[in-house]
Amino acid sequence: MNDLIEIFREEVAANLKEATRLALEFEQGPPDRAGIEALMRVFHTLKGAARAVQCDQERDLAHRLEDVLHDQLDGKLPWRAATVDLCLMAVDLIRETLAARLAGAPWPDLAEFTARVEAERAAPPAPSTAPPEPPEPLDRATDGDGGLDLLGIFAQEVTTQVAAARILLAGASGTSGDDDLPRVFHTLKGAARAVGCDAIRTVAGTLEDLLHGPLDGQAQDLSAGLPSALDCGLRWIESLLAGLRQGAATPPLEPLLEQLARLRESGQFAPCAPPALTADPLPASADPAVEPPPAPLHPAPFDAPAGAPPTVATAPSASLPANLPADLPAGGQRTRLAYEQLDRLHRLSGELTVAVASFAGQRNQLRGLTRELTRAGQRLNRLLAGALGDDLDREALHEALRQVTQRLAATTGGLDGLTQTHDRMESRFHYLADGLADEVTQARLLPLSDLFDDYPRMVRDLAQELGKRVELHLEGQDNRIDRAVLEQLRNPLLHLLRNALDHGIEPPAVRESQGKPAAGRLTLTAHRVGALMRLRVGDDGAGIDLERLEAAVVAAGHATPALWAQLGSEERTQFLFLPGLSTARSLSTTSGRGFGLDIVKAGIESSGGTVAVRSEPGRGTCFELHVPLSLSLTRCLLVVGGRHPLFGDQRYAFPMTEVTRIRRLAQSELRELEGRLAVHLDGETLPLFQLHGILGLAPIQQEVGRKHLLVLEEGGGRFGLLVEAVIDELDMVARPLDERLGKVAEVSGLTLLDDGGVALIMDVTDLLQHLREGVGYLAPAGLQAAAALDPGQEAATAAQVLVVEDSVTVREVERHFLEQAGYQVTTAVNGVDGLNKAKAGDYRILITDIDMPRMNGIELIRTLRGLDRFRQLPIIVVSYKDRAEDRDKALDAGADRYVTKSEFDTDAMLALVAQLLASAPARPAAPGTARDA
């Protein structure tokens, strides 16, 4: 029952939203017949749904409103403006009753609503201006309440489910591996049982059983005939529905059922057409209870009286996709779109499965090539052994080498082909991964109408409460945005609209005395700008009263009158977002507590957005919000911030929405401003800061000209930030930090990079606050010291480390964490390889294992220590042997430190490497350098 209540809750929410929209639309003037029918149908749907889950009070509320609207259609009651209030009252009571039911709280009292309904129905009938009486309904099964019959609802559900089944059938290419198709026929079977339509119930139930056969392990393969059988069954269901709506006799089902039984027994199916109809079925959108209504009435222009509620005007919605039927209801349209998106995801997942399966063949091919290489190597070893033993003559040796060469050439050709196949597969995987990511991202996006639809009712009620008149204009509600961002916008936009109504829009008498229209204009618009959504909440009211704002700011101790006089208008309006600050003259249920705009700023910034305000006295105020379209993927600029003594070069990510410019910095653009360096760009002098100084890291580039300049902007202020290097611009998945860390300064999250490393995502708002405090600024002395360096001099290169290890796993682990710490790492696979690379290179430290083929670690250390170049080279032994005699043997051979693999720790290892490098004497020059000469 809980699942049914949840489904009911979602259906109630959608229908109440539609009822509110229609009621507010009718408030602008008397509705035509089609409008009243649409509103009545909403409450009829609510009544039927409430009856199904035994929610009696919700059912009674919907039924009473449906009776009022039915009387108006019959001409028994006139249309009154009070009907809108009654509809909205019913909407509120249904919503409150359901919320109380779910929370286990007392239900609201219906006494006032019942009295108003009875008073409405007791009103005298309207003269000839009432909507014409509906024609007599066709003879059909009714719901027993004297209202519309259930057949219309059933017909609409059948139409939607059949369309969904066809989409799934086309996407699955006839397979039945999903639960979606069986669920569609199960739904049809249950709906047909509810209205007593045994024929459709039988067909849907048989098709459901047929689909569950393969799912339940049925041995017979139905894949060949199943698509045709399902399509035929859907056509029979449509034909049976059309006959039911026409009152025709039910045709015999034996032709279809016999073919379906044959399919189950033999896997073969012969399509059988449903019986011919004497008339075409009604369109899905037609109301089965009444004949098509006459042309809509066109009442005289509606003159709103003084104190009339707000007008709600919306921009035209974007057109629906061409493949959606125009008469499909709103819920059906969304369901259809969801099915189409699932279809695309299903196709992508299928292609991905096929692509992954292809690796099996490549793996077998690679194993075959490996065997060929192994055999060729063994053959060469035998030839070498024979040549050394003089067992082969020259001609035999030449022939054997020719055969081995041919085998190696064939193997090389196979490897080339495999490489080309791998390249193609890599491109294919990138394509599929991008498509899958796009579809998943789209699945998270919701239209802004889900948010905007709640505001007309709120504006209307608040305007009536404040005694004001207002026209609300909505635009851009068809734009789609991430579900999480949409939820974070809900409260900020609500506060801004309430603030505009209470503080911005003047009372009608005041507006008329100023030459303005009596009704104020309130706008809420949304436009996509790149990866951001720009929302504006504007009004044509009085604007911000700066004198009252000054008084509130000074009284709260946030500024002095002298400081206020020096501030610009943008800086002054920023005080509006301080918590606890209010310019309201009195405390009311709407305003006066000083937390509205503080909530707005906190909510917008929590989603990675910004908020700004501009105002003109007497002309109005506009709040502009910029929020990201999605929180799942963020376009970021990856930079190097500086070098850590243990962990090497540190990478950071800046959201691209926060970076307005990226460029190199020329010496001629530098300025000195109040003892600090600044940069002159585009006629403006910006304060200059260094990221490594803010984060406590060491610089990598000593010359300012070798760094990159990022220009950051917030609240009208711009700052220059120097970073060591710009790596790339990437789409990143932002991950939150562990909540146990609390708020980490200048950091909002982290992301994993392609190479397995981690980059911190900068909290630009927090960073800019530190910049305002002067943290990390570049002093002129620092610049002079950098400029005094030889222009050709490079920053100190990272220390070169040689890792000698025969285990590929251990070798790669050591290489990875050392490179992450900023070292240049070379690896060797055994002692001989390590000795050769040590002689050829110029390494600052050596890390080696003990047990290795050809030459073990002890022999390697002794050999190196016997050469003058390596007498002072720091050597660390990493071995699984933990006996004291093994440790002593390595140290006696000349190792500086001995670490067992059981106690191996990357942090301790990095600290040990740094310690040995710091204490090592100056290196002797490698062969070939000036010192050797």
Q: What is the pLDDT of residues 329-346, one digit of tens each?
A: 444 445 445 556 666 666
CA 764 to chain centre: 21
Lowest average pLDDT, out of 472-486, 647-661, 914-928, goes to 914-928
- Identify the three-state secondary structure at position 415: helix
Neighbours of 685 (CB within 10 A): 14
Q: Are strands 897-900 and 875-879 parallel, antiparallel or unpaired?
A: parallel
pLDDT at 300 over 90: no
Confidence at residue 124, expressed as pLDDT on a 0 to 100 scale:
61
CA 130 to chain centre: 50
Helices and strands: H and E segment counts in the chain: 28, 24
Lowest average pLDDT, out of 265-269, 348-352, 737-741, goes to 348-352
Confidence at residue 137, expressed as pLDDT on a 0 to 100 scale:
36
Q: 136 burial class (0-12, 13-18, 19+ CB within 10 angstroms)?
A: exposed
Tokens 């902007």, residue?
713
Residue 10's pLDDT band, with cuts at 50, 70 and 90, is confident
Predicted confidence (pLDDT) per residue in 749-804, tens digit: 888 887 778 899 988 877 887 677 655 555 554 444 444 433 333 334 568 899 99
Confidence at residue 927, expressed as pLDDT on a 0 to 100 scale:
45
Lowest average pLDDT, out of 100-114, 290-304, 871-885, goes to 290-304
Lowest average pLDDT, out of 227-231, 298-302, 750-754, goes to 298-302
Q: Are strands 875-879 and 845-848 parallel, antiparallel or unpaired?
A: parallel
Average pLDDT score over residue span 102-120: 86
CA 506 to chain centre: 40
Q: Classify the C-alpha dihedral 100-105-109-110 as positive or negative.
A: positive
Cα angle 873, 875, 877 (rounded to 5 degrees) comes to: 170
Residue 604 carries which side chain, given as an amino acid letter? I
Confidence at residue 295, expressed as pLDDT on a 0 to 100 scale:
34
pLDDT at 653 over 90: yes
Confidence at residue 896, expressed as pLDDT on a 0 to 100 scale:
92
Instruction: Report the C-alpha gap between 886 and 884 in whole angstroms.
Output: 5
Average pLDDT score over residue span 31-39: 85
Phi/psi at 512 (5° precision): -65, -35
Higher model confidence: residue 279 or residue 470? 470
Confidence at residue 213, expressed as pLDDT on a 0 to 100 scale:
63
Lowest average pLDDT, out of 103-117, 188-202, 343-357, 905-919, goes to 343-357
Residue 861's pLDDT band, with cuts at 50, 70 and 90, is very high
Confidence at residue 507, expressed as pLDDT on a 0 to 100 scale:
92
Tokens 């950071």, residue?
652
Higher model confidence: residue 192 or residue 336? 192
Q: Which domains does the chain have, with CATH numbers?
A: 1-122 (1.20.120.160), 151-170+179-266 (1.20.120), 338-445 (1.10.287), 471-582+596-628 (3.30.565.10), 634-787 (2.40.50.180), 800-919 (3.40.50.2300)
For the chain, percent of residues with pLDDT exceeding 70: 77
Higher model confidence: residue 124 or residue 817? 817
Helices 483-499 and 455-466 meet at what angle, rounded to 10?
20
Both tokens assigned to 849: 């294992």
DSSP 517-542: -SSEEEEEEEEEETTEEEEEEEE-S-
Confidence at residue 332, expressed as pLDDT on a 0 to 100 scale:
44
pLDDT at 319 over 70: no
- Identify the three-state secondary structure at position 644: strand
Average pLDDT score over residue span 803-820: 83
Phi/psi at 773 (5° precision): -85, 0
Average pLDDT score over residue span 526-540: 88
CA 650 to chain centre: 27
- Most confident stretch, 377-386, 396-405, 559-568, 870-879: 870-879
Lowest average pLDDT, out of 71-80, 109-118, 908-917, goes to 71-80
Confidence at residue 788, expressed as pLDDT on a 0 to 100 scale:
40
Residue 391's pLDDT band, with cuts at 50, 70 and 90, is low
Global pTM reads 0.47
Instruction: Report the C-alpha gap between 278 and 811 in whole angstroms.
Output: 81
Average pLDDT score over residue span 138-152: 47
Q: Classify the C-alpha dihedral 489-495-499-501 as positive or negative.
A: positive
CA 355 to chain centre: 26
Phi/psi at 855 (5° precision): -150, 120
Q: Are strands 445-447 and 480-482 parallel, antiparallel or unpaired?
A: antiparallel
For the chain, percent of residues with pLDDT exceeding 90: 11
Phi/psi at 169 (5° precision): -65, -40
Average pLDDT over the chain, rounded to whole?
76
Task: Yes or no: say if 669 and 658 are a contact pair by the CB < 8 Å rule.
Answer: no
Identify the bridge partners of residue 624 per DSSP, sorted by sequence position: 536, 612
- The maximal CA–CA distance of the chain, rounded, in angstroms, is 126
Residue 630 carries which side chain, given as an amino acid letter? S
pLDDT at 293 over 50: no
Q: Are strands 633-644 and 648-655 parallel, antiparallel or unpaired?
A: antiparallel
Task: Yes or no: say if 36 and 72 are a contact pair by the CB < 8 Å rule.
Answer: yes
Confidence at residue 340, expressed as pLDDT on a 0 to 100 scale:
62
Both tokens assigned to 372: 């060929």
pLDDT at 103 over 70: yes
HSE of 393 in the Cβ direction (CA atoms, 13 Å)?
A: 2
Residue 93's pLDDT band, with cuts at 50, 70 and 90, is very high
pLDDT at 687 over 70: yes
Confidence at residue 118, expressed as pLDDT on a 0 to 100 scale:
86
Q: List the one residue out of 282, 301, 305, 302 whose CA is nearest residue 292.
A: 282
Instruction: Report the C-alpha gap between 15 and 709 in whole angstroms.
Output: 54
Both tokens assigned to 774: 């002067």
pLDDT at 162 over 80: yes
Residue 523's pLDDT band, with cuts at 50, 70 and 90, is very high
Predicted confidence (pLDDT) per residue in 827-848, tens digit: 888 888 889 889 888 899 999 9
Task: Yes or no: say if 94 and 46 are a contact pair by the CB < 8 Å rule.
Answer: yes
Higher model confidence: residue 556 or residue 500? 500
Confidence at residue 38, expressed as pLDDT on a 0 to 100 scale:
86
Residue 215's pLDDT band, with cuts at 50, 70 and 90, is very low
Instruction: Report the C-alpha gap between 439 and 433 in whole angstroms.
Output: 10
Confidence at residue 346, expressed as pLDDT on a 0 to 100 scale:
64
pLDDT at 587 over 70: no
Residue 176's pLDDT band, with cuts at 50, 70 and 90, is very low
Residue 525's pLDDT band, with cuts at 50, 70 and 90, is very high
pLDDT at 481 over 50: yes
Neighbours of 435 (CB within 10 A): 16
